[in-house]
Chain A
């Protein structure tokens, strides 16, 4: 015969387990409700901390089809390559904003920047950067010019820039801007100047 106090104890524990189960079930449903299935596509790179510096970002404006210099204070690491990466990430962050003057697709990211002597910078973007980019000569040209001009304005000594997507060469950014070759920084500078002077 099972002692009475043992039956009462076991029953109490079963009731607690049942109640806990109901509670967990309800909490789970609530979490699903609060966080719909859309993935958080924000970059997962750790935030850079430390001394902030004043930099100039060349920001694209689609409505007028020009680049405008915009000052920003961002934390910059000491390494030249890391500085280049943080600069472009700061630029891309602007384009991911809700009221950005030139928008990039959610999840667009500069994965890495490699500085290769003499004077070559290789920008590696992710697939969301290119796959979600709006197609059009001017739209794509603005993105390329903005990246190249921002790099050259803040990192001296860069003469050529190559843009990759997911570490691989791609023919065009979104059907127009050529990504198969190397961009000459001085030629892109002239292109940007022409954009300013020819704005409609």
Chain B
């Protein structure tokens, strides 16, 4: 084997793994910079037990190519060497030899034919995409499935399966269960909800088109495109999605009609660009004013790894907030108020995600539930608006979006405080620098529940949690009655 110096080629050996990584990274970044961030950039996604990743596809002579080192690098140790028109690749204990401008190659000492010429560009070996399904098993030695149309390569048994079942409740719910956690980008337009899975090795269910025989949610279509799996759910109403079961379940329902007059609704603020992905973006409902309904979003604060306050050695705030939020939903629904809970399991949701979720369903009221071992009774908070951009016209600045709704928030706070006092619960009303309250484009308040006395453990008592939830629900119902919005 000739040395890199003698051959004038590039030897990428294990001791130089770091340098190779930098080179590969630089090549990818350079390719991305050249191609820009256009959504039209062709990509291939590779799913393996080692990593799920996406690579740019290079088009030459009407054919799609991809760098072989880039594909193999995240899966295992790989090195490559250029010697004139010859390109040698070493992956684990497998050797491959390619020649620029030729289809013939040698892998594991045996002849192999590519579907198109091998290309050598700046010492990068490019192979045609159409050869991947036969080429990759030679190197990897295991099963490889390549979805050529969607440009998705599955190395080994990594697929995420899913099922979709429509429950004919009122309103109907489409429950999609996934075999592993998912985090799709979701967007909606009237009557459609579109989920894009880029990092998840999602594979189609039995049929790519699922018909549910229901007007509200009629069908779901699975398709693959440009390295991503997409699921389009269609129906007659505006649809929204919520996550549960540690992001293994997505429930799609019809978005409740909004209580606010849409013609006067300011444009919802756009979440900061670093929030990705925003899970649910339902469309703006177009319900006539005569049919406006009171709709509440209940947000159980914290969740997942974000435990909130340690109320006792074993009791985390996230668990108490979820329990109280569930009681609050039950109490509100029993008073005829539609409720969307942002989390219904021990799941992490970012503050921007919570605000984006809430703003896009245009609730009448947003209630954030907190718990504390400090003091007793209940503390109610409205937002302390940070110093920042002013809202201009119909566009709201993200950090100060709540400023136009503070009067409504204070009205809601007064109503809830009054009902709590009727039940002799000690109440304190405050403002607080508490996100996401300042990002919410509706009446928004935080309810911080402290124990009835000095014994913090009473915070976990179901009777106490339901008692507080019932009083808060009375306050919300009183607000609805005062606003004269129909049930």
Contact = CB atoms under 8 A, between A and B. Distances in A.
B465 interface: no
Contact of A175 (B306, B426, B432): B306
B381 interface: yes
Contact of B377 (A137, A172, A200): A200
B385 A187 contact: yes
A136 B432 CA distance: 11
A195 B430 contact: yes
A66 to B, nearest CB: 11
Interface in B425-477: 426, 428-435, 438, 446, 448
A137 B379 contact: yes
A159 B387 CA distance: 9
Interface residues of B, number: 34
A176 B434 contact: yes
A182 B388 contact: yes
Interface in A161-200: 171-172, 174-178, 180-184, 187-188, 190-191, 194-195, 198-200
Nearest to A141: B432
Interface in B208-267: none
Given A138-B375, A191-B430, A176 B438 contact: no
A134 interface: yes
A182 B432 contact: no
B433 A184 contact: no
A184 B386 contact: yes
B399 interface: yes
Given A187-B384, A194-B430, A135 B310 contact: yes
A29 B11 CA distance: 56
Contact of A138 (B379, B385, B386): B379
B200 interface: no
B426 A183 contact: no
A183 B388 CA distance: 9
Contacts of A62: 374
B191 interface: no
B326 interface: no
Contacts of B354: none
B302 interface: yes
Contacts of B435: 171-172, 178, 180
B152 interface: no
Nearest to B436: A178
A191 B317 contact: no
Contacts of B381: 137
Contacts of B431: 190-191, 194
A175 B387 contact: no
Contacts of A149: none
B151 interface: no
A184 B438 CA distance: 14
A176 B438 CA distance: 13
B82 interface: no
B434 A177 contact: yes
Contacts of A139: 372, 374
A112 B429 CA distance: 33
Interface string B289-318: 000000000000010001011100000010
Give the interface size bracket for A toward B.
20 to 34
A65 B388 contact: no
Contacts of A177: 432-434
A199 B381 CA distance: 13
The main secondary structure of chain A at its interface with chain B is: mixed
B370 interface: yes
B317 A178 contact: no
A178 B387 contact: no
B351 interface: yes
B64 to A, nearest CB: 41
A178 B448 contact: no
B430 A178 contact: no
Given A138-B375, A198-B428, A200-B428, A182 B448 contact: no
B386 A182 contact: yes
Contacts of A191: 384, 430-433
A121 B433 CA distance: 18
Interface string B166-183: 000000000000000000
A186 to B, nearest CB: 9
A137 B371 CA distance: 9
Nearest to A63: B375
A174 B310 CA distance: 11
A146 B448 CA distance: 21
B375 A200 contact: yes
Contacts of A176: 370, 432, 434
Interface string A126-168: 0000000011111101001000000000000001100000000
A181 B351 contact: no
Nearest to B399: A181
Nearest to B427: A200
Contacts of A194: 429-431
A175 B306 CA distance: 8
A135 B315 CA distance: 13
Given A135-B310, A138-B374, A187 B387 contact: yes
Contacts of A138: 372, 374-375, 379, 430, 448
Nearest to B318: A175
A136 B374 contact: yes
Contacts of B374: 62, 65, 136, 138-139
21 contacts: A135-B317, A138-B372, A138-B374, A138-B375, A138-B430, A138-B448, A139-B374, A141-B434, A160-B387, A175-B302, A176-B432, A177-B432, A177-B433, A178-B434, A181-B386, A181-B438, A182-B386, A183-B433, A184-B386, A191-B432, A198-B430
Interface of A: 62, 65, 134-139, 141, 144, 159-160, 171-172, 174-178, 180-184, 187-188, 190-191, 194-195, 198-200
Q: What 6 A-B pairs come out closest when comparing CB atoms? A: A181-B386, A135-B309, A184-B387, A182-B387, A178-B433, A136-B372
Given A181-B399, A181-B433, 10 more contacts: A136-B374, A137-B379, A141-B434, A160-B387, A172-B351, A178-B386, A178-B433, A180-B435, A198-B430, A200-B377
